[in-house]
Each structure stands twice: as C-alpha cells, then as structure tokens.
Chain A
C-alpha cells in the first residue's frame, strides 16, 4: 500500500491501514525513542502511545510535513509527557540514571558508544540518533526538530565532538 493511500485510509479508521502503518514505522520510531530514553520498557510504552495518538490525530494531518516527521514529533512529545509523568511520581529523573543496563545485543565497540552517549544531553543524543544512527539528511532532521539546517550542522558538530571526547576517554579508538 502506498503511503498516501495508507494515510487516507487511516483517516477513515481502516484497520488494514493501521496494521501497515505500525509495521512500517515501528522500528524507526522505536529506535528514535530508545536512543533518547535508553530504556526498553519506557520505549515500548511510548511507542504504543505514539501510534494511538497518531490514529487519533491523523485527521488533522494535512500533508504539509512528511509523515515520518509528523510521527517523530508525536513520539518525542509523548516521551516528554512520559518523563514528566514519571518525574511527578519520582519514578525517573529526566537525566539518565546510572543503573540502566547496556543494551545486551551490542558488541564491545557499540557498548563504549552507548556508554559515551550517556554523558550527552538529550538534545545531543537526539541529533546524533537522527543523523548518524537513522541516517536522515540535514534537511529532514531540521524539519523534525523544527530548526534551521545551519543549526543542525552546528549542533551536530558539537554533539559529535562531545561524544568523540567521551569515547576517547574509554580508549574506543585504541580498541580498533
């Protein structure tokens, strides 16, 4: 099913379109949330809520933005709400807690990067996730973050430098 057709059918509440939509985007959105939240349980909850919100608000989607951009924004807003909710009941601080386990499927190199990412701010992790992990262009990233392309360039350069400094301390480049 074409993207346009999926969107039109989603607006009518078509169940097959919902299936296609979830299957198409769950991996992308899961990764986007996971790299920022760094917690599988939170990520899965937020992912489900993101799709429910998308179904709810799809009628208001006019196609000005790319559907991926639109969905990504919903996901990040949902994640913020989740953080806020958890913070309100002292379940989680906005910063990443020390005892979150390293993703089990990673090899040594990736584990170092994962550790390094912990020291970055959410904004820094977000931009690295979009460009370096998900492979979005500067233009696509700028739309998703609602900033100028120039901002993406400079923020990305700073975030990369920060991450590089962190993994340098952990001898990342000596292990290659």
Chain B
C-alpha cells in the first residue's frame, strides 16, 4: 500500500502532506521514493527514433487497392459461376420437390453450398477454410479482431469488432472440415475470403448464415 502511494505521488497524485510526512519519518520509504524517481527519469529518456515508414506505407496502401480491384473482379466471376451452377443443379435435379425453393443446409449433415451455408454458433463450422490463420484474415476483413485465443482441441475463440456501429461479437468455433478442395481445383490459389456475419448471434444451437466469397491470390 505504501509503495502504491509512493508510485502515485511521483506522478503528482495522492495526498502530498501525508506522503511528505511519511518520507520524513521512514527512511525505507524515502529510499524507495528516490529510486522510483530515478527510474522514472531514466525511463522518460528511453524513447527511440522511429524509422520513416511513410513511403513504405503509401506504397503498400497503393498495392492493396490494386489487389482489391482484381480480387473483387475475381470474386464477382466466382459468384456468377456459383449462381449458375446452383441454378442448373437444382433446375435439373430437383424440379419435383414442392415447397422447397432454397436448399436447407446443415453443418456436418449435408454438404455445404458454394456460397451460403448454415452453421451452429458453438460452432462446428464447415466454413471452407483451411485453418485458423485464414479464418482470422477473413474476420479481419470484416472488422477488427480485438482478441484471439486457441482453446485447444482445435477450438478457437475470437472477438470481432465489426465495421460501423455493429455490436462486438465473440465467436467460438472449431475447424472441422476443409471444403475448399470440393469447390476449387487448385487449393494453393486460395488466399482467403470475405465473410458476412449476422448482426447478432442467435441463441445456442440456433443456426446462423455465413456468406463466403472466395478470393484467389
């Protein structure tokens, strides 16, 4: 307690008279106070000069924009292809089913669709990414990851602050399958994807929809 008071005092906080009395009467406190002062004074001189990163930052910023344009074009092509394939598939093979206009997909029980799949938030996601690293990049495109941790047994937890005013989300998930090879022939070309999350996570065991667009390197 005494040490905390002294620590506060060197920052100009706390009861001045009480501390001055303490320092006068207790040599140990006085020594501690002087040591902290000296330490603080040395620390205040420990700033180092930053290298000038301006040009590198602006150069990278420019590259990102160009890459984004190409990726957007590629994603659009993929999206058109996916919609076409889905349309042809269901038009040709499921015209007899009444009352089903959209395929109902569930994680782990049926194959995921190319673009949209339903998953449980706890989560056994078959989201079609190779590993946590890619998922992090996906989430990062959607907002800012404020905290990440590995829970073990292949489970992960990420806190995501989405862009705009959306509420912060805590995502628990487990990578259980790699769906990418089923979607794209050359897995090495997959770099990441964008992911659209719902505004709020539903109750336990409820389903959420995640929309994924895959990008090429």
Contacts and interface: CB of A to CB of B under 8 A. Distances in A.
A113 B60 contact: no
Contacts of A30: 48, 50-51
B163 interface: yes
Contact of A31 (B3, B36, B47, B64): B47
B28 interface: no
Contact of A132 (B43, B51, B148): B43
Given A27-B50, A133-B43, A173-B35, A85 B57 contact: no
Interface residues of B, number: 42
Contacts of B49: 27, 105
A31 B144 contact: no
B43 A26 contact: no
Contacts, number: 119
Interface stretch (B6-14, B77-85, B94-102, B116-124): B6-14
A10 B164 CA distance: 16
Interface residues of A, number: 58
Contacts of B56: 48
Interface string B181-216: 000000000000000000000000000000000000
A119 to B, nearest CB: 14
Given A31-B47, A105-B48, A153-B4, A47 B36 contact: no
Interface in A75-120: 77, 80-81, 84-85, 88, 103, 105-106, 109-110, 113-114
Contacts of B146: 73, 77
Contact of B46 (A27, A53, A133): A133
A110 B165 CA distance: 44
A153 B38 contact: no
A129 to B, nearest CB: 9
Contacts of A15: 58
B13 A138 contact: yes
Contacts of A57: 144, 163
B42 to A, nearest CB: 5
Given A55-B61, A77-B146, A128 B43 contact: yes
Contacts of B47: 27, 31, 133-134
B8 A109 contact: no
B42 A110 contact: yes
Given A138-B11, A173-B35, A60 B163 contact: yes
A16 to B, nearest CB: 11
B13 to A, nearest CB: 7
Interface of A: 15, 18-19, 22-23, 26-27, 29-31, 34-35, 44, 47-48, 51-53, 55, 57, 59-60, 62, 73-74, 77, 80-81, 84-85, 88, 103, 105-106, 109-110, 113-114, 128, 131-135, 138, 153-154, 156-157, 160-161, 163-164, 167-168, 172-173, 176
10 contacts: A18-B57, A19-B58, A51-B53, A52-B61, A57-B163, A77-B146, A88-B133, A113-B43, A133-B46, A157-B8
